[in-house]
Structure 1
Amino acid sequence: MSSLFTVGETMGLFGALAIGRIEHVASFGFGIGGAESNVAIGVTRLGGAATWLGRLGSDATGDMIARRLRAEGVHTMDIRDESFTGLMVKHRRTGETMQVDYHRAGSAGSRLTPADIPSDLAGASLLHLTGITPALSDSARAAVFHAAETARASGVAVSFDLNYRSKLWSRFDAAPVLRDLATRADVLFAGPDEAELIVGAAGTDLPAALAALGPVEVVVKDGARGCTALLDGVPAKLPALPVTVVDPVGAGDAFVAGYLAARLAGWAAPDRLRQAVAAGAFAVTVPGDCEGLPSTSELDDMSFVDVRR
């Protein structure tokens, strides 16, 4: 069975339940958040199989994360660590802006090492990595590169989402690392700004410039402007779908999950993109980091799009 393996940090997520200054918010929801685990959940909800590996603290938040992932059907390889499970705090200052703060320096997730990566990648046919994990620590960066090399040596396809986070490292420090990882990818996802970080100035054909690094499937995610792609040498472009945005956090992960789930299922390139766009559109209509990730039946019920093959 085709399946996905991913590795990274999943954190506890405090989300403000009202709009305004954080000191005026009376209540918060508590959930989980992490790009890699979001993708794993998204793939399983769309009928695929996924494994997530990461380090969690031996604390209540770590326990909750492990339970939530397993409840979603994700095969969870949680390595318990003596450090704490990281946290993120999300709030809306206005109805139009979202702010996310991280509390993860020295966290269990940042203590990932190459020795944590299984030599068989849990039997997966696709490895998914992001540019977040290599920003966490030297050992986590080494683990990501080791996972990519393990996959390449085993003939496992590598998916990489640049996911640059300015709160974790500078553009100067990130660019060479992200570029190096992009050269190891078969499938590459990036936003326009992220793409320019590793291939140069704006105004270029970003999918083509990224594909020149080596990936055979390149998708540039551009939010409300849709996406452009170069898939096996064939250019493609899809507009965003018309929805009311409630929470944009996690939309990129939903997009990636939609694409990769379709790829694991053997769908043709145009159908992969359609499902990716639909999944991203669905996700922004629901508050939360992974809560809005759609199931197959929910995408089928969307009145404005048909993502079936």
Structure 2
Amino acid sequence: MPLDVYAFGSALVDIQLAVDDTLLAELELQRGNMYLTDRVRQEQVLEKILGGRITDLGALGDRVNLAAGGSAANTVYGITQLGGTAALCGKVASDPFGHFYIRDIQQGGVLFNQKMVDGMTGTCIVLISDDAQRTMLTCLAVSSEITYEDLNEDYLKNSTYLYIEGYLFDSAVATETLLRAIATAKKHKVNVALSASDSFCIERHKDQFLHLVKNDVDLLFANAQEAQALTDTDSLEEACRVLPRWCRHCAITDGGRGSTLLFNGVRLKINPYPVIAIDTTGAGDADAAG
């Protein structure tokens, strides 16, 4: 069946809870950052905040909110809610989190038919501050072990876009897979969209990001900080002059200042709608869905 988007990314169960900045300081976490960590560290954080363990989430009740997440998953969920068609390639384990993930993402109308594997499903503790900023502690677990054999080539060949999250560069296995997926997409004239994901992720894998953006990406999604990190510039204005030389279509968000579209040499400024932010988790992913 034809699809608008086939997305490739880390399948993570988000564990969301509210915190204050004092607690973030006690945990030695810088607000707004994404930290790659392990299950032991996640357990320590939950113990301190809630006195519970990640394996005992059923007993925590409404003190946390669970959701099928991951950057690419957030975007394809948004696409289906807007009436589009989308599928997700991700990897989950045969554990309670994996079963929850599949049920939740499919209820959102996203095609997801991956086989479960042994191990642990990836999880992300999302700490939401009073001003809606989110700080994340991510344990990738099996989500980082996605291989080319996990991809559905029929979905890929029949999609308008292959959508890839930049976070995948944090896994050598996933990086190899995404490069093969891009080659297949190009062979079948499928457009490639890339989410820059995180400015720190760009710093960790700068050369790989630049190679993709300059050679393979048809549509780039980034926020202002990511655009500046990618272009080594000090302002969004400067970044917007550099990016069109590399990629013909770019969509750049800038928080409460709105967003900028760069399409085939034309620059369009989109003003924001004033709102009271409650939770910015997946805000950029939702923007990409639109």
TM-score (normalizing by structure 2): 0.80
Cross-structure match for 1:78: 114
Structure 1 residues 24 and 73: CA distance shift in structure 2, 3 A: closer
Cross-structure match for 2:240: 207
Q: Please, which runs of 5 or more residues in structure 1 have no aligned partner?
A: 259-309
Q: Give the Å deviation of 1:92.
A: 3.4
Distance in 2 (alpha carbons) for counterparts of 1:113 and 1:119: 12
CA contact (8 A) 2:13 2:122 kept: yes
Q: Does 1:51 align with 2:87?
A: yes
Q: Give the Å deviation of 1:154.
A: 0.7
Read off the aligned partner of 1:15 and give its amino acid letter.
Answer: Q
Structure 1 residues 96 and 59: CA distance shift in structure 2, 3 A: closer
Structure 1 residues 154 and 97: CA distance shift in structure 2, 3 A: closer
CA contact (8 A) 1:36 1:128 kept: yes
Cross-structure match for 2:166: 131
What's the CA shift string for 1:94-116, capped at 9, x where partnerless?
44643221122xx1111112232
Aligned residues: 251
Read off the aligned partner of 2:93 and give its amino acid letter.
Answer: G
Q: 1:159 aligns with which of 193, 208, 216?
A: 193
Local SS of the residue matching 2:112: strand
CA contact (8 A) 1:4 1:50 kept: yes
More relative contact order, 1 or 2 (CA 8 Å, 6+ apart): 2
Q: Please, which runs of 5 or more residues in structure 2 have no aligned partner?
A: 24-45, 52-62
Read off the aligned partner of 2:123 and give its amino acid letter.
Answer: L
Q: Does 1:3 align with 2:37?
A: no
Distance in 2 (alpha carbons) for counterparts of 1:54 and 1:238: 32
Cross-structure match for 1:180: 211
Cross-structure match for 1:244: 276
Read off the aligned partner of 2:165 and give its amino acid letter.
Answer: T
CA contact (8 A) 1:86 1:103 kept: yes
Cross-structure match for 2:97: 61
CA contact (8 A) 2:249 2:262 kept: yes
Q: Does 1:221 align with 2:256?
A: no
Local SS of the residue matching 2:116: strand
Identity of aligned residues (%): 24
What's the CA shift string for 1:195-231, capped at 9, x where partnerless?
1222222245323311211x22111111111111211
Cross-structure match for 1:16: 17
Structure 1 residues 32 and 96: CA distance shift in structure 2, 3 A: closer
Distance in 1 (alpha carbons) for counterparts of 2:19 and 2:255: 24
CA contact (8 A) 1:227 1:237 kept: yes
CA contact (8 A) 1:206 1:220 kept: no
Distance in 1 (alpha carbons) for counterparts of 2:110 and 2:152: 17
Local SS of the residue matching 1:87: strand
Local SS of the residue matching 2:10: coil
Local SS of the residue matching 1:230: strand
Read off the aligned partner of 2:15 and give its amino acid letter.
Answer: F
Distance in 1 (alpha carbons) for counterparts of 2:112 and 2:199: 25
Cross-structure match for 1:191: 223
CA contact (8 A) 1:5 1:52 kept: yes
Local SS of the residue matching 2:92: strand
Matches within 5 A, 1:104-143: 104=140, 107-120=141-154, 121=156, 123-135=158-170, 137-143=171-177
Distance in 1 (alpha carbons) for counterparts of 2:257 and 2:90: 33
Distance in 2 (alpha carbons) for counterparts of 1:97 and 1:47: 28
Q: Does 1:235 align with 2:271?
A: no
More helix by share: 2
Cross-structure match for 1:290: none
